[in-house]
Chains A and B, each alone.
Chain A
Amino acid sequence: MTLIDDTETLTEHPYERARPRHRLREALSFRSISAIYIFAALFLLFSLWVPSTFLDGDTWKAMLDDQAITALTAVSLVIPLSAGVFNLAIGSQVAVGSILSAWLLSQHLPIPATVTLTLVAGAAIGLATGLLIVRARIDSFIATLGVSSMLLALTTWISDGQQILDLGAAYQELATGQLFGITYPVYFLVLVALAVWYVLERTPAGRRVYATGGNLDAARLAGVRTSTTIVLSLIACGLIASAAGTLVSSRLATGDPSIGPGYLLPAFAAAFLGSTQFRGGRYNVWGTVIAVYVLATGVKGLQLAGAPVWIPDLFNGLALLLAVGMAVRRGDTGRTSAIARLLRRRRSSQEA
């Protein structure tokens, strides 16, 4: 009885090896934590290349602070991606958060009211996007692309295309204040990442998010409220993206309508790269956060070594392609890959 069973397993996956006995070895393998090894390699490289500046503690503090907002945005993106939703509006959502908070302040609203209203707006944008996807049944790719364009219009309308200047020192303190020499956004990032990680990986709700992203039909037929899950994931994403936007304007004490969209690519690159870490192909929070900082280390090192200004874009783009390329190849070797799945899904929906 079992004999035939095993034959069938092997017929379908003749190259599948037995699971390694040592979980630790698997956990420390290059496949699971390549980003850590890459980080180590980059660290070594730049320590030898530009030791005086690269090994300076201030460089690292600045980088932690620099990348906190990018990491926050990337973490927010992990939630809808896990639910199988592509949020291309993420950059514009940061822009709206940034410009809306700046404008509200310039209308002499107190800071708490400004922040609250901005967060509510972010959640509302998430809700509207979610309804477009589950009610109007527009593919998330297209729905969020459309929303993104409309949000950019909103940003320009609010700001009239101008920077909103002089938001005040009290407001600036939000993003630049320090505790033990590290700025507030870094702590905020840690809190948010912990919360998102806990919900996604330690609760039934998170299980349902991953199920929805893994196979919408099967999840629905297993009793998961997939539409609610998708809408809630976008609301959570909008909320965090708005908070990131608030920090963007607070950091400079200026509302700049041109900054937000720039977060789109780094956020996606980090989420994709992060999905190749730790969880064997699942989008996950810690992989994403680490990916942000590994990318930043590479960029920073190159900058310190005198690389030109166009290096960050090149580096991020290259990393994104590498991450996807690795994930697609990994699909062959039998591991679960969120990206490979996504690409397959797109392909099949085009054929249908």
Chain B
Amino acid sequence: MGDSASQVPRTADLPGAAGPLLRVHGLSKSFAGTKALDGVGFEVNAGEVVSVVGQNGSGKSTLVKVLAGIHTPDPGAVIEHRDIRFIHQDLGLVPGLSTIENLDIARPLGLRGFRPAKAREERQAAERMIRRFGGDFDVTEPIARITAAERTIAAIARAMSDWSPTGNVLVLDEPTAALGAAEADLLFDAVRRVAAEGAAVVFISHRLDEVLGLSDRVVALRDGKLVADVPAGEVDHDRLVALIAGSELAEFRMEHADERGRRALRARGLVTDVLRGVDLDIHEGEIVGVCGLLGSGREHLAATLFGAMDRHAGSVTVAERALKAADPAHSIRHGLAYVPADRLRQGAVMTMTAMENLTLPWLRPLRSAFGRLDRAAERGETRAWTDRVALRPPQPDRPLRLFSGGNQQKIVMAKWLRMAPAVLLLDEPTQGVDIAAKAAIHELIAEARAAGTGVLVSSTDTGEILDLCDRVLILRDGRVSAELGRHELSEARLISESLGLSTTSAPRHPLD
């Protein structure tokens, strides 16, 4: 087909052997007067890995969307590159199909699509492709059953299968969000191989350590502006944090008290498909953090306590009452509240308005004669809450999906705080929200704690854990492997305990 022919690079078109493969100059992007990107410019050469770092809201995702052609930049911008390929965070693989079949999807079909597939040839071709990027796994397994890192390699292989990296650009957008350290290594190896074949690689990430280990150069964004473009060897972690955070960091500091309140929640011997006997107490006015790698059980703990997920064994007790397994309504009635990590699918009904979401868990006090919903009371109460959480725009009648991630999460927080829960269970409470909303949400958590609510925060953001928590539980292989008090907390300690290293300081550049 003509398609595949046009994708074969023609050497004559190369913008000069030594020139950059990707050149961005004077790139701005405004949304209704606000600049999401402001005069950004950088270059990426062949064989080079350039990382783009920045907080949520710094313009990283806008940059990717402009490169991908989803957004049109403001006039005057220069973007030059030849073929450019993207690997997005969700990878875009079909989970039910094998690696072979997923690789095959990328290939353009004509009438050839009706010819019988040659099983052995396809398998060997797929194996060659994944080995090229350092993968070594069963290509006949469905994507859903291989590990996250192997999936990423399959996605890279697919992006490369009908494409020669030489002279072209590969953009990876937050590819390691779901990977553990060992898995990330596998991916980095694949990325280096792509660069070694002559491609320019742009690596978008918010994990600073891995960025320093992997890339040749680091480009940092803050508030839409480029604040650094430096060789990776010339910056260290702390300097990078200062660059991307600017003055906005450390706006919020949690006050910690040393005495404990009464026990608010008691869990014993929790067993699920992943958890293998977890004991846990949460006290009134205490924030308990939960850390652990993907697969450690961390991501299931809050859901299991709440009853969003079923448990095979174990008990959860709140105020001396045993909670039923897998019964959220029962848990809510006994003072539990749960903010799931997946806001779109579980956290809120996006098609309903902010007000309807806010009042959904507790409509009883709004009932008037004939079982009618008292609209005036509902509106009044909603107004009070949207003011308190500073909802932007302050329009409770808008469908929730039209709000930004941060404002959606404010509504999700408000709907639970409205019930004055005894225990607030938070799963990734600030995932995908900007710095301002993150600070606002942290403040809400602090207020709940001050009101005597026991809080559990499960998060992959170690900075958040360090900022918020009085006590941290480390999960490994479905068990609590360590418990750290306020005074033992440090980022290095959290990471080394999560990985199960005996040393107290984690290597900063595991790849060097």
Contacts and interface: CB of A to CB of B under 8 A. Distances in A.
A222 B361 contact: yes
B390 A13 contact: no
B31 A4 contact: no
A219 interface: yes
A278 B32 CA distance: 30
Interface string A8-42: 11111110100100000000000000000000000
A6 B34 contact: yes
Interface string B331-353: 01100001010000111111110
A207 B356 contact: yes
Contact of A222 (B366, B395, B415, B434): B415
Report the interface size class on chain B.
Answer: 35 or more
Contact of A214 (B95, B347, B351, B439): B351
A7 to B, nearest CB: 5
Contacts of A45: none
B317 interface: no
Nearest to A12: B404
Contacts of A219: 349, 360
Interface stretch (B173-181, B292-300, B367-375, B488-496): B367-375
A210 B347 CA distance: 16
B398 A223 contact: no
Chief secondary structure at chain B's binding surface: mixed
A207 to B, nearest CB: 6
Chief secondary structure at chain A's binding surface: helix
Contacts, number: 146
A225 interface: yes
B406 A13 contact: no
B402 A217 contact: no
Given A1-B436, A4-B436, A224-B329, A9 B360 contact: no
B328 A204 contact: no
A5 interface: yes
B439 A7 contact: no
Contacts of A178: none
Interface in A301-352: 334-336, 338, 341, 351-352
B239 interface: no
Nearest to A281: B351
Interface of B: 31-32, 34, 36, 57, 61-62, 71, 94-96, 223, 306, 308, 328-329, 332-333, 338, 340, 345-352, 356-357, 359-364, 366-367, 371-373, 390, 392-393, 395, 397-399, 401-407, 415, 434-437, 439-440
A16 B31 CA distance: 11
B393 A9 contact: yes
B96 A351 contact: yes
A210 B352 contact: yes
A205 B371 contact: yes
The 7 closest A-B CB pairs, nearest first, are A10-B31, A204-B363, A8-B404, A214-B349, A223-B332, A1-B436, A9-B404
Interface of A: 1-14, 16, 19, 198, 202-205, 207-208, 210-211, 214-215, 217-225, 281, 334-336, 338, 341, 351-352
A4 B62 contact: no
Contacts of B71: 14
Of A7, A202, A205, A219, most B-chain CB atoms within 10 Å: A7
Contacts of A19: 395, 397-398
A203 B360 contact: no
Contacts of A341: 351
16 contacts: A4-B223, A5-B406, A6-B393, A10-B31, A14-B31, A207-B356, A207-B359, A207-B373, A208-B363, A214-B350, A217-B345, A220-B328, A221-B340, A221-B346, A223-B328, A223-B360
Contacts of A202: 372-373
A9 B407 contact: yes
A223 B338 CA distance: 10
Contacts of A338: 351
B351 A215 contact: yes
Contacts of A6: 34, 392-393, 404
Given A8-B405, A11-B62, A214-B350, A221 B363 contact: no
Nearest to A10: B31
A13 B402 contact: yes
B373 A203 contact: yes
A6 B244 CA distance: 20
Contacts of A7: 31, 34, 36, 57, 434
A214 B352 contact: yes
A204 B308 CA distance: 22
A1 B440 CA distance: 9
Contacts of B345: 215, 217-218
A133 to B, nearest CB: 18
Contacts of B338: 221
B371 A3 contact: no
A229 to B, nearest CB: 11
